Structure 1
Amino acid sequence: MAQLAVYDRYPWEYTTFPVGGAVILIEDDGLAEALLGLSQEDLEIFMMHWFLRMTDAQIARYINMPRRTVNTRRHKAYRLLTELMGGEADD
């Protein structure tokens, strides 16, 4: 039955993040709040990698930044996001 169920979704149930020409919808308030704790550039890099499934090389080309810098900033954003959500950065 759960597979056949249809649920109404409303715009106010999500926090929207425009990233890389797409709009990413986050339903979890805790995650959305933690994402808002990242700098805009780190947020975009993290979202492009995690939600848009872009590689570091693709992100680097898109935002005109060295691939190594994208990789470093993505890892930094992940560590900060983990801490903001109450986890340990070394997990």
Structure 2
Amino acid sequence: MNEPYRTQFEIRCAFNGFCKKALKYEASNAHRDVRNRQLREVTFSDLTPDEESQLYTTDTYSFDEADKFFFVAGKTFTAKLLADALHALPEEKRNAVLLYYFFDMTDAQIAQQLNVPRSTVQFRRTSSFELLKKYLEGRAYDENEW
């Protein structure tokens, strides 16, 4: 500072003026940026079908016979076998398994939805594994059988 004898009030006023000027210029910049962005923006309804198709992409999947099988612990399983195994479970156990593993629900959430205690949901879910194991062991193909 060149003026050593400025009062505290004068210093605050000078700083206040500086802040107001900075905010004014920043607001001006923000308004300019918004105006420039609005000039470049196009609504979806104004797009041609060709332009619209460039905004997204779709995945294509091919399902070969090899994709229908998966191998675990020397056994070959098909998606249909797994679906049949789930369908063979009693309905209350199947619901607990599906809600837990496919809908990412906790035991407490499942219990609230099914109106049963949480421990019942946990028992149904864990006991389902034994039933699924027995079902799949009897029907899975050994890799060596191919």
> TM class by shorter-chain length?
0.5 to 0.7
Shift of 1:62: 0.6
- Residues 38, 77 of structure 1: 8 Å contact kept: yes
Q: Structure 1: which 5+ runs fail to align? A: 10-26
Shift of 1:7: 2.0
Shift of 1:5: 6.3
TM-score, structure 2 normalization: 0.42
Is 1:39 the counterpart of 2:90 in the alignment?
A: yes
What secondary structure, in the 3-state scheme, does the structure 2 residue paired with 1:85 have? helix
Q: Structure 2: which 5+ runs fail to align? A: 1-57, 64-77, 139-146
Number of the residue aligned with 2:102: 51
- Residues 60, 70 of structure 1: 8 Å contact kept: yes
Runs of 4+ in 1 over 3 A off after TM superposition: none
Is 1:81 the counterpart of 2:135 in the alignment?
A: no
After superposition, the C-alpha distances for 1:29-55 in whole angstroms (9 at most, x for unaligned) are 010111111001110011001111111
Point out the structure with max Rg over C-alpha.
Answer: 2
After superposition, the C-alpha distances for 1:10-43 in whole angstroms (9 at most, x for unaligned) are xxxxxxxxxxxxxxxxx81010111111001110
Which of the two has greater strand per residue?
Answer: 1
How many equivalent residue pairs? Answer: 67
Amino acid at match of 2:110: I
1:5, 1:60 → 2: CA distance?
A: 37
Identity of aligned residues (%): 37
What secondary structure, in the 3-state scheme, does the structure 2 residue paired with 1:65 have? coil
TM-score, structure 1 normalization: 0.65
